[in-house]
Structure formats: C-alpha cells, structure tokens
Amino acid sequence: MKIKEGFVTRKIADTIVAVPTGELVNEFQGMINLTNSAKFVWDLLQENTTIDEITNKLSKKYNIDINKAQSDVEIFVNKLRKYNIIEE
C-alpha cells in the first residue's frame, strides 16, 4: 500500500499539512494535519510498504511499544483508507 500520487506535504508555521494537487483536488477537497509521527508514517507510505514494516520502523524511531505502534499505524492508515488516499 502507498499514498496516491498527487499529495504534497508542507510545513506552515508549526503545522505540517498534506494537500492534494492536480486532479486529486476533485476527489479530496481539504488538507490533513500531520503530527511528527504521522509525517514519519506518511513518508514511509510514499513507497509501497506494509503495516508491519511501518510499525517496526515507528516503534524503533520513537522508542515505543510495538503493540502501541501497530495500533497507532492501523488507526492512521484506516483514516487514510476512509478518504481513499491509499492505493492498496
């Protein structure tokens, strides 16, 4: 799975946002606010990857329990799926 082509991230003041570009603006009219850890996951999703790979990298990067990392990744990915932002 990975993020659909056509989204860009920008830092505006202290906020990181992801916004659609081009024709994706017609599909998704809004922006996504990203925390630092969500941006880390977002960046991993730029390439085809799995929840397990992301979970392991998130756990190591932020030194958090693997179960907590997996739960957080699944919640985030499910939100992206809800808005059709992920290609499976």
pLDDT of res. 24: 86
**Helix (H) / strand (E) containing 71:** helix 66-82
- The average pLDDT across 69-81 equals 97
> Is the predicted pLDDT of residue 39 greater than 90, yes or no?
yes
The domain locations on the chain are: 2-87
Superfamily of domain 2-87: Coenzyme PQQ synthesis protein D (PqqD) (1.10.10.1150)
pLDDT, residue 85, reads 93
Q: How confident is the model at residue 3 (pLDDT cuts 50, 70, 90)?
A: very high
CA-to-CA dists, residue 67 to 11, 23, 35, 72, angstroms: 29, 37, 19, 9
